[in-house]
Chains A and B, each alone.
Chain A
């Protein structure tokens, strides 16, 4: 469980140390991609906690969601419609749902653990 968090911290450090900056006009796409990636990550954590985690689904979902979000934003820019809002909405809603599910699972786990300790 701690390894992914460590990985994320390492990634953030790497990103900050390399001092890479992408052009302003592409930051929209990256923000959408980040949102998609976060969504997938939390989806993966939830799936893991629910014991339905599938690596193929997770990895393919990660890249596919990122690409889809970015291309949606791209299409939106060229159509003159803020299509990236759709991606933001979808991913935002899913992010909240996932986090809510994770919270509930963790809560039940915690309460069962406490009950066990009380029994003992």
Chain B
């Protein structure tokens, strides 16, 4: 056999060997015998069942979500109602409101404070009511006095010589009155009105000073905290109103 013949023979021998090796490896797989006894089998079955139930749970929750989304889409009326409710809540004063406005500060007149004498200045409810009315008149939308939201049913009164707003006593001066208006323009207007209002003078008579801050783009009025009790209101009937 000459050289090229030998080479080709050898090459083919290599290929055959390679094929045999691959076939051998393919056939020779480690024989895995199932040697589990019944309890191990049961355990494995339990594991698989747990997996299955987990998967089923997942599927169910996803389907529930899907149907929930679909029903939500159908019941957009509910969404509208919710929106209305939120609007009404905001109007009734049950939500925090941030908007443009001014901050009034009532503080004792420091020049009048005499050394050794207690500070006697207290805000009378009448003064506060007057201030409130004035604020409302000049475009205030939401007002809070000393952190207490003033709503339609808020009472400001004197109980045992303490001025109370819905049960919250105003004792310590200075106090802050947060006022939120519709827009920065209105805040500006309110600011101008408060600059020339008579309230400031009346506060001064009671040894207090009312300072009005510059209009701010963002003033926060907290939500009304107490439950609103509706005692003397009734739902209107179907008949036309105004027939007194």
Taking Cβ atoms with an 8 Å cutoff, the residues of A that contact B are 3-16, 19-22, 24, 27, 30-31, 33-34, 37-38, 40-41, 44, 48, 53, 55, 58-59, 62
Contacts and interface: CB of A to CB of B under 8 A. Distances in A.
A5 B4 CA distance: 16
A48 B20 contact: no
Interface of B: 1, 4-6, 8-27
Contacts of A9: 17
A88 to B, nearest CB: 14
Q: Which 9 A-B pairs have the closest CB atoms?
A: A15-B21, A11-B17, A7-B13, A7-B10, A11-B14, A8-B17, A4-B13, A11-B18, A12-B17
B22 A21 contact: yes
A50 to B, nearest CB: 13
A33 B13 contact: no
Q: Is chain B's interface secondary structure helix, strand, loop, or mixed overall?
A: helix
Contact of B20 (A3, A5, A34, A55): A34
B27 A58 contact: no
Contacts of A37: 12, 15-16, 19
Contact of A22 (B5, B10, B22): B22
Contact of A15 (B4, B11, B13, B22): B22
Nearest to A48: B1
A20 B10 contact: no
Contact of B23 (A5, A27, A44, A55): A27
Contacts of A8: 13-14, 16-17
Given A4-B6, A41-B16, 19 more contacts: A3-B6, A8-B13, A10-B14, A11-B15, A11-B19, A15-B22, A15-B24, A19-B25, A30-B22, A34-B16, A37-B15, A41-B12, A44-B12, A48-B1, A53-B5, A55-B8, A58-B9, A59-B8, A62-B15
A5 B14 CA distance: 9
Nearest to B25: A21
B69 to A, nearest CB: 44
Given A3-B6, A41-B12, A10 B17 contact: yes
Contact of A53 (B1, B14, B24): B1
Given A11-B15, A12-B21, A15-B18, A22 B26 contact: yes
